Structure 1
Amino acid sequence: MTTLDLTTDVLVIGGGPAATWAALKAARAGADVVLADKGYCGTSGATASAGTGVWYVPPEPAAREAAMASREALGGYLADRRWMARVLDQTYEGVNALANEARYPFPAGPDGQPLRNGLHGPEYMRRMRVRVRRAGVRVLDHSPVCELLTDTSGAVAGATGYRRQAGEPYRVRAGAVVLATGGCAFLSGALGCNVNTGDGALFAAEAGAELSGMEFSNAYAIAPEHTSVTKTAFYTFATFFHEDGTVLEGAASQGGRSVIARALLQEKVYCRLDRADAKAQAAMRLAQPNFFLTFDRLGIDPFTQRFAITLLAEGTVRGTGGIRVTGDDCSTTVPGLYAAGDAATRELICGGFTGGGSHNAAWAISSGSWAGRAAARHASSLPGGARTRRTAPAGGAGLRPTGTPGPADGFREVVAAVQGEVLPYQKNYLRHGDGLVAALRTLDDTWQRLRATLYAEDGDVVRARQAAAMVAHARWMYTAALTRTESRGMAKRLDFPAQDPGLHHRIVTGGLDHVWTRREPLATASLEVAS
């Protein structure tokens, strides 16, 4: 079978905001860049399918102070003020570049000044694709990566993957790699998230990288029943109802989703956006037209009529855990490997809690920019470049079983098994130590079986690797959640409902066949804020 064989300075894996910012900055730093996306760069992923807020704050001391303080308590005081300031600076620069260089059409506010704290996802990503292509980046669409390559020293040296449309494998030898593959939503059906299966975290762990904040991974979003559009911010205008029509008390509060989750275990829950006045309704339709598409097709007026809702798991797409970064350049513990966007931990700016866009969108712009520049520098420092290095594949589960290979569609059973442990509200959202232990036992058994037997060929290799990545992700999540014997940020424990001052630290995790955790003390600035 023909194999496309490329050599480049920087390989960016992913196709969302973080990936395109990384590719753009690496190319502008003088590097030859290849970007490999699982889908079509500019249209795949959570951002491209909807709108997003952006943590964009002008450089005014009072405004910046308020912005940094706004979510510190919600995040359990695990964020770092120095990183927050860096992200605010880089996001301000990046969003202004979108306006001035890419001519992004920001709407004007009441005072006539452009409103730059929000982006229309499809238009944003269309322009980012154009910018990347104009910078000379070679874009491989519909080309999911399957594993990383490493050299004899253990440094990352590229990746291999599969070109879906061409029906052939490919290899890219690179001086440095940026992982910007997004988080993991476990194929829950949330809009734009079915490309987010935790692949990058698996690749990183196989190369020896660490993860952090994986306990902050039980994000669920509200959606109309049997649909995929998750725009939870709009539900601040909602009244929620029991199946019998009475109001579901507490569902509209800050912790309302746990109330909804408990109710959904027993009955249907209904909703009506009856607290939005005419002005708010018009603004909502303008900001998120796709939110109303389902209602319009069904002939439902969500502002006056009740509709059934559900909760969809968004995992580390809307959580804050991910690959641990070890420096200001978003480097990892593995030489030549950088992490950006939702693939990387967002604890540094969010602690244990984040919302939908806002901080995540700012982190994508900032971490992507830093990782891209750093990857270019690293690649330029290699004597002889990428072509001269001897490489070896780093992948394991789903590619190289340790026992007798199982059926070609064995990934289907694996996906069903992991979804059975992470999608139910009573296991993942309403966490209890006993439930976590039981779920981990099942997930560990699933991992052992897939490690021994999971194998696929051609395009199904991608599905097998996705299945392995989701199981690995779930095991890291639940192991970290068991280690954090308290409730902090979004990591709530029913058996430990209070916050424990003795656990004011981050939890680093890693490993595949044997998952481990360790404590990571906070920087001085974070400790001062908490005190």
Structure 2
Amino acid sequence: MTLELDADVLVVGGGPAATWAALKAAEDGAAVVLADKGYCGTSGATASGGTGVWYVPPEPEAREKAMASREALGGYLADRRWMARVLDETYDRINELADVARYPFPVGPDGKPLRTGLQGPEYMRRQRVRVRRAGVRVLDHSPVTELLTTDDGVVAGAAGYQRQADRAFTVRAGAVVLATGGCAFLSKALGCNVNTGDGALFAAEVGAELSGMEFSNAYGIAPEHTSVTKTAFYNYATFYRADGSVLDGAGSQRGRSVIARTLLASEKVFCKLDRADEAARKAMRLAQPNFFLTFDRLGIDPFTQPFAVTLLAEGTVRGTGGIRIVDDGCATTVPGLYAAGDAATRELICGGFTGGGSHNAAWAISSGSWSGRAAARFARALGPSAARRQVRAAGGAGLRPTGTTSSVSAAEVVGAVQAEVLPYDKNYLRHGDVLRAALGQLDGTWAAVRSGLRADGPDVVRARQAAAMVAHARWMYTSALARSESRGMAKRLDFPELDPAQHFRITSGGLDEVWARPQEVAA
């Protein structure tokens, strides 16, 4: 039997952006349902480790320095007004975590609290408690599989499948916030295998646009055969070839491309964190204890003994592309639909480049809070009639194929996508000829998915994840080909220089026919 619920606001996701959205919508008086693919508070990239936060006190000089620090790296596509908004909101919400949620921030030598970092497990445990205390109904292990819309195209809820209860569910809602994270293509990067781009697929199916999808080729350094991508620690590393000689350039700003080329040549890359002094070593263990678990179990001292490393794709989890937002409340181009966190584009605050935490964490907090409040206002304006609206299901690929026979499996689709997006010489070291060939393969995979990927019951979740990954990859490569230059992380081997004439963002969308076009950046 299908579980049927009504709400003012439905939040899809369970990480930082989702919990902040649910909390702020509930505080605004909305009846809120949160549906998480995993167990809210434990799944996702943040819950599995620690994260830095772009937390800067409201001092003009410090704020100016913070905003200027990454503008060049991001290709000058960020927006100072949005940066300032995020810094303000993050400062208030982090202080709220300390004062209301009693998060145990450490204290520095000067006696002042250090609020520029969060331990993911403790942070998300408290967020779950806060959300539930606010009256939010939490549906754990309940992946959403499609949106619901009214006849005139307003988003009015979503449907999904509860894995543990083995039943379908629907939530009719006045507004929906997509906080489903980015897409890491099941690369096994720590905490990212729930991030398969589902929200972007749902949004595109109702006509929403995306932006910045060319900024999607993020790869994190990880010890070989592990999933822990805490790349900041490798600032203390010296990299070596298998013969013990130093791998020149691997520790520089472009070091990952050096590592990628070496791995492509079938050579192993080793490193030691031998540039960290004793104080740094202690701080690293306190900041990211899970980073050291594998080493401790294997009896390796990563500060003095070499260990092999690899690169894992993190896609739009650490890239900046995502669903395009069009106002200060993080509305999308479709009424009733909002986006937050990694599911939404982060170009507004970091252009074409971001790291593993900091700006991402601040964006999740801020966009989550804004979208939750805005969704609550949208739902309130509809009044009690919102739950009585006639709705239709919007899902297509993997749910309602155009063909009559099942001709492809979700596992086959995932394998086909990974073959085009995980290799370093396709997605990381990009060249137009290679991108076009990969896109051609992905277009064929999408055609097979659209016509012949069919699933029922719990298998629908895997089918929809596979469809979302194909769609994500096609938007990525279509956008990458539309930017014939190197800007931010969107580097092109065939266009290695930044072109001032291409100082624009690239919006994209479509499913059967994917499109990408320039969008002017406001002065």
Q: TM-score, normalised by structure 1?
A: 0.98
2:503 and 2:58 mapped to 1: Cα distance? 30
Unaligned 5+ residue runs, structure 2? none
**Following the alignment from structure 2 to structure 1, what is the Cα–Cα distance between the partners of residues 444 and 196?**
20
TM-superposition CA deviations, 1:326-353 (whole Å, max 9, x none): 0010000100000000000000000000
| Distance in 1 separating the partners of 2:65 and 2:405 | 56
Give every structure 1 segment of 4 or more consecutive aligned residues whose post-TM-superposition deviation is greater than 2 Å: 383-386
Equivalent residue, structure 2, for 1:163:
162
After TM superposition, the structure 1 stretch with the greater mean CA deviation from structure 2, 276-285 or 68-77, is 276-285
Q: Which residue of 2 aligns with 1:412?
A: 411
Checking the alignment, whether the CA contact within 8 Å between 1:8 and 1:386 is kept in structure 2 is no
Give 1:269 shift. Answer: 0.6
Shift of residue 371, structure 1, vs aligned partner: 0.2
Are the equivalent residues in 2 in contact too, given 1:175–1:385 (CA < 8 A)?
no
Structure 2 counterpart of 1:131, one-letter code: R
Say whether 1:290 aligns with 2:290. Answer: yes
The Cα of 1:518 is off from its aligned counterpart by: 1.4
1:217 to 2:216 alignment? yes
- Residue number in structure 1 paired with 2:400: 400
Q: Kindly provide the amino acid, as one letter, of the partner of residue 296 in structure 1.
A: D
1:200-239 matches, cutoff 5 A: 200-239=199-238
- What secondary structure is seen at the aligned counterpart in 2 of 1:382? helix
Q: Distance in 2 between matches of 1:518 and 1:82?
A: 24
Is the counterpart of residue 33 in structure 1 residue 40 in structure 2?
no
Q: Which amino acid aligns with 1:394?
A: A
- Which position in structure 1 is the counterpart of 2:250? 251
> In 2, Cα distance between the equivalents of 1:155 and 1:90?
29
In 2, are the aligned partners of 1:7 and 1:386 still within 8 Å (CA)?
A: no
Work out the CA distance in 1 between the residues paired with 2:304 and 2:125: 35
What is the letter of the counterpart of residue 320 of structure 1?
T
| Residue in 2 that maps onto 1:518 | 517
In the alignment, is residue 391 of structure 1 matched against residue 391 of structure 2? yes
Counterparts in 2 of 1:52-451, with a 5 A limit?
52-266=51-265, 267-406=267-406, 410-451=409-450
How far apart in 1 are the matches of 2:512 and 2:451? 11
Q: How far off its partner does 1:509 sit?
A: 0.2
8 Å CA contact 1:9, 1:385 repeated in 2: no
Residue type at the aligned position of 1:335? P
What amino acid maps onto 2:344 in structure 1?
Answer: A
Superposed CA deviations along residues 64-87 of structure 1, whole A, max 9, x for unmatched, are 000000000000000000000000
Question: 2:464 aligns to what?
Answer: 465
User: How far apart, in 1, do the equivalents of 2:405 and 2:310 lie?
Assistant: 38
Shift of residue 110, structure 1, vs aligned partner: 1.2
Q: Who is 1:528 aligned against?
A: none
Offset of 1:383 from its aligned partner? 4.1
Q: Give the whole-Å Cα distance in 2 for the aligned partners of 1:509 and 1:298.
A: 46
Aligned partner of residue 159 in structure 1, secondary structure = strand
How far apart are residue 492 of structure 1 and its match?
A: 0.1
Q: Deviations over 1:405-441 (max 9, x none)?
A: 316x700000000000000000000000000000000
Residue by residue, what CA displacement relative to the aligned partner does 1:289-338 show, whole Å, maximum 9, x if unpaired?
00000001111110111111000000000000000000010000100000
Where 1:104 maps in the other structure, the secondary structure is coil
| Contact residue 158 and residue 172 of structure 1 kept, 8 A | yes
Equivalent position amino acid for 1:441 in 2: G
Question: Does the 8 A contact of 1:179 with 1:337 survive in 2?
Answer: yes
Separation in 1, partners of 2:172, 2:362:
30
Stretch deviating more after TM superposition (16-25 or 513-522) = 513-522
1:130 is displaced (CA, Å) by 0.6
Could you tell me how far apart the structure 2 residues matched to 1:470 and 1:13 are? 18
Structure 1: distance between partners of 2:58 and 2:354 = 22
1:152 positional shift: 1.1
Aligned partners of 1:443, 1:435: CA distance in 2, in Å? Answer: 12
Residue number in structure 2 paired with 1:478 = 477
1:508 aligns with 2:484: no
- In the alignment, the residues of structure 2 paired with residue 52 and residue 293 of structure 1 have an alpha-carbon distance, to the nearest angstrom, of 17
Counterparts of 2:56 and 2:522, CA distance in 1: 24
Q: Equivalent residue of 1:74, what SS?
A: coil
In the alignment, the residues of structure 2 paired with residue 187 and residue 350 of structure 1 have an alpha-carbon distance, to the nearest angstrom, of 25
For 1:323 and 1:385, the matched residues in 2 are separated by 28
Whole-Å Cα distance in 1 between the matches of residues 387 and 129 of structure 2?
A: 28
Deviation at 1:96, TM superposition (A): 0.2
The aligned counterpart of 1:529 is none
SS at match of 1:381: helix
Question: Alignment partner of 2:411: what SS?
Answer: helix
* C-alpha distance in structure 2 between counterparts of 1:387 and 1:21, whole Å: 24
One-letter identity of the residue aligned with 1:102 = A
User: Does the Cα contact within 8 Å between 1:397 and 1:454 map onto a contact in 2?
Assistant: yes
Residue 513 of structure 1 aligns to a residue whose secondary structure is coil
Q: Distance between the aligned counterparts of 1:406 and 1:376, measured in 2? A: 41
Query: Helix, strand or coil: the match of 1:384?
Result: helix
CA distance in 1, matches of 2:406, 2:299: 47
The residue aligned with 1:498 is 497
Structure 1 unaligned segments of length 5 or more: list them: 525-531
Aligned residues of 1:216 and 1:352 also touching (Cα < 8 A): yes
Quick one: distance in 2 between partners of 1:370 and 1:277? 41
